[in-house]
Chain A
Amino acid sequence: AQTVTQSQPEMSVQEAETVTLSCTYDTSENNYYLFWYKQPPSRQMILVIRQEAYKQQNATENRFSVNFQKAAKSFSLKISDSQLGDTAMYFCALRPSGSRLTFGEGTQLTVNP
């Protein structure tokens, strides 16, 4: 079985500052994919960034980057230069063998002006 844990139910950050969201996971697979999804008030699930476990280099997408620590099974998301539009629920997700995604419980991020 695989699990994903997000230990921060809520976080807030000032506009233009940097914030890091935490995620830990557990799986017996050696090769898998990790994702961060954003769910704004519209409830649409939007892919923010993905990481392949066999790649040591941390993924980066513009202001979003991850810190992937495979041995520690940790996958945190860093948002730089936070914008008001970043306010959303953020979900960490794991995709080991097979096709299903396993999601964490989410972190509600609020960006304050």
Chain B
Amino acid sequence: NAGVMQNPRHLVRRRGQEARLRCSPMKGHSHVYWYRQLPEEGLKFMVYLQKENIIDESGMPKERFSAEFPKEGPSILRIQQVVRGDSAAYFCASSPGAGKAYEQYFGPGTRLTVT
């Protein structure tokens, strides 16, 4: 059973460009979480999605950031008009159910560098 997959692993964007980060959850998992890790910091929650629904986006910046998890295909985290402060590692995690009892399995992360 393949683990959580994220691509690309490394992404370089110039200021003002768009960044698209993809996350394929583990087989059978319908719950996806996105976290951001700034340099020298812990992971911070961004958004929690189920298929076709955003459940909790309280950690998402109000502007330029959006996320989706369509019925078919991977979850996408989209950052428009990137700025240097967006440079970070973005981790996706998936779980088979909702609630605190279900373990979240993490992907390897996407390291975004904005030049």
Contact = CB atoms under 8 A, between A and B. Distances in A.
User: Which of A37, A50, A98, A104 has most chain B Cβ within 10 Å?
Assistant: A98
Chain B: interface residue count, which band?
20 to 34
B41 A105 contact: yes
B54 interface: no
A91 B59 CA distance: 19
B76 to A, nearest CB: 19
Contacts of A42: 108
B101 A101 contact: no
A59 to B, nearest CB: 13
Contact of A100 (B45, B91, B102, B108): B45
B89 interface: yes
Interface string B4-48: 000000000000000000000000000101010000011111001
B56 A99 contact: yes
A32 B101 CA distance: 9
B8 to A, nearest CB: 14
Contacts of B35: 101, 103
B45 A43 contact: no
Given A97-B100, A100-B45, A105-B42, 18 more contacts: A32-B100, A33-B100, A37-B106, A43-B108, A45-B43, A45-B106, A91-B43, A99-B55, A99-B95, A99-B99, A100-B48, A100-B56, A101-B35, A101-B43, A101-B93, A103-B35, A105-B41, A106-B42
10 nearest A-B residue pairs (beta carbon): A45-B106, A103-B42, A100-B45, A95-B100, A103-B43, A105-B42, A33-B100, A106-B42, A44-B108, A99-B48
29 contacts: A33-B101, A37-B106, A43-B89, A43-B108, A45-B43, A46-B106, A47-B103, A50-B103, A91-B42, A91-B43, A95-B100, A97-B100, A98-B99, A98-B100, A99-B31, A99-B48, A99-B55, A99-B56, A99-B98, A99-B99, A100-B33, A100-B45, A100-B59, A101-B35, A103-B35, A103-B42, A103-B43, A104-B42, A105-B42
